[in-house]
Structure 1
């Protein structure tokens, strides 16, 4: 049997990580891996997580299974965090998943089950794993224009024109905030126009929100998601706790199915539980338990929100420093978009050849499409990156 297997394409980011590890240069800079790192290059355990873990260690009396959909307290807390009061809780079905990727995978499985002929419209570009999973499930994908390589902002006219070609029942995959890989986000006026197109054409929105709190703030980053949930007949939302709670390895995510028809909730909830059973039975609980403990404790929540805000402001400061340094070196504001982007990532919009030149000449590691992780920088390395960008001819 095994002799019939074929080699699978290597993951470009994982390959880049290995190249970085093998590079003997002391001054190399890793801007490739999509993980938050502080100025010391460490992905820290957040203070509130440490406190919650200690409390859990003292109080937990069992490691028995939770339900197929996970701990209801976790679902309730996450729904409140993301959706607030934009929709009735009774209209939301939810299931815990192994990370945001698990939520995305389960959402695609649900789409295939509910409407096998549905196409999924994805932004160009999008997180590569979106495309990989859709292809693996044999779900047809259609790219819609999103990133304008001239302005390094959103090509909104192109996006709307492409969404108008979608058929009733097709799914539109949207990034809730901090678009990965571009860092270019929709504003609220644009969110409203997108929703108008979704409703006009009978399209189903699916939102991937993995960076709430990394962009403009916890509440601000959820505004678009809340507007979609409140103003479309139904939608899917895949959420991750990896970044804003810093619990990457705990694999903590949530899939929500929102319907304005409250009578659909029981069927939707049963379907999410069924899908969990088919893929991994019971979802992991440790990270989810910590998240619910933090969100339901005023002191822990305040400490978590304060540290998250420090993280957000630190990344914004690095963005501004890089934009300012490039303006100083060039006498031009053509890199001003770096300060306008939000989240961990920005897309420089340059060629793979220039990205390779930065790696070879300056030890700057970023993904070949020119996505760079701003959180991989610190105050000392920003000038090094700025010079490398210009030396490569960007």
Structure 2
């Protein structure tokens, strides 16, 4: 039986990581893998996480199962963080998941249970795993225009034209903030226009929010998600704690299902519980417990929010430094978009050939579509990257 298996295509980001490790050059720069790194190139454990884990070690008396949906306190804390009362709590069903990826996967599984004929509209480009999972679970994917490679901003007119082609019951997958891979985001006026299309066409909104706090601030980054959630009849929200709490390896995420009325919430919750049971039974609890402790303890929450703000400001500083350095070297302001983008990533809008040229010539490792992880830079490596970009003729 196993001899019948076929080789699967390699994940491009993981393959890039392997190449980076094999590169003997001292001055190589990893801008591919999507994790935050400080100025020393380390992905640190946040102070509040350390303290919460210390308390948990002392206080926890059992490692028994919690519940199929995870700890209810985690759901309440995350719903408050993401939505802050934008939707009545009795309209929201939720399950803890193994990371944001697990939440996305369970959302797609729920879509297939609820409406096997539904198509999912995804931005072009989007996080590659969105499309990969949709293909695997057998849901038709339709791309909508999103990124203008000339302006490096959102092609909003194209986006609206493409969403207008969706049929009632189709799902529109949206990035809540800090679009991955482009870094280009809608403003709230544009978000309202998208909501209008969703409601006019009878579509289902699904939001993937993986970087709350990395863009313009915790509250600001949640504004679009809250606008959508409060304006549509039904919706799905997949949220990740990997980045903003730095608990990547603890696999901590949540899927929220917003029903049209409180009468439907129980059925939605039953189906979410069922999906957890079929896929992994009980979700991981350690990361969820740590996040819950942080969000419900005023002292820990304040320290976490302060450190997260420091991280956000450092990334904005790197963006501005890179834009300024490129302006100086190129004599052009065509790279000003880098300072305008938000989150960990920017897509600089060049060809795979020039991306490969930068890797070969200068040891710059970024994904072939020219997505680069801003958090992989520091003050010393920004000038090196800027020179490589200009020398390659981007």
TM-score by length of 2: 1.00
CA distance in 2, matches of 1:186, 1:257: 23
Matched with 2:321 is 321
Matched with 1:73 is 73
1:207-246 counterparts in 2 under 5 A?
207-246=207-246
CA distance in 2, matches of 1:293, 1:386: 42
Matched with 1:44 is 44
Matched with 1:158 is 158
Question: Helix, strand or coil: the match of 1:122?
Answer: strand
Question: Helix, strand or coil: the match of 2:112?
Answer: helix
Matched with 2:358 is 358
CA deviations on 1:211-238 (whole Å, 9 max, x unpaired) are: 0000000000000000111000000000
Matched with 2:54 is 54
By how many angstroms is 1:39 displaced?
0.6
CA distance in 1, matches of 2:279, 2:330: 53
CA distance in 1, matches of 2:48, 2:160: 41
CA distance in 2, matches of 1:103, 1:71: 15
By how many angstroms is 1:45 displaced?
0.1
What's the Cα RMSD here? 0.4
CA deviations on 1:84-132 (whole Å, 9 max, x unpaired) are: 0111111110000000000000000000010000000000000000000
1:242-321 counterparts in 2 under 5 A?
242-321=242-321
Matched with 1:109 is 109
Question: Helix, strand or coil: the match of 1:94?
Answer: strand
By how many angstroms is 1:157 displaced?
0.1
Matched with 1:142 is 142
CA distance in 2, matches of 1:264, 1:344: 37
Dislocated runs of 4+, deviation >2 Å:
none
By how many angstroms is 1:149 displaced?
0.5
CA deviations on 1:151-203 (whole Å, 9 max, x unpaired) are: 00000000000000000000000000000000000100000000000000000
Question: Helix, strand or coil: the match of 1:222?
Answer: helix
CA distance in 1, matches of 2:228, 2:200: 14
CA distance in 2, matches of 1:165, 1:356: 36
By how many angstroms is 1:332 displaced?
1.3
By how many angstroms is 1:329 displaced?
1.1
Matched with 2:29 is 29
CA distance in 2, matches of 1:119, 1:201: 14
Matched with 2:194 is 194
Question: Helix, strand or coil: the match of 1:76?
Answer: helix
By how many angstroms is 1:260 displaced?
3.3
CA distance in 2, matches of 1:259, 1:327: 49
Matched with 1:13 is 13
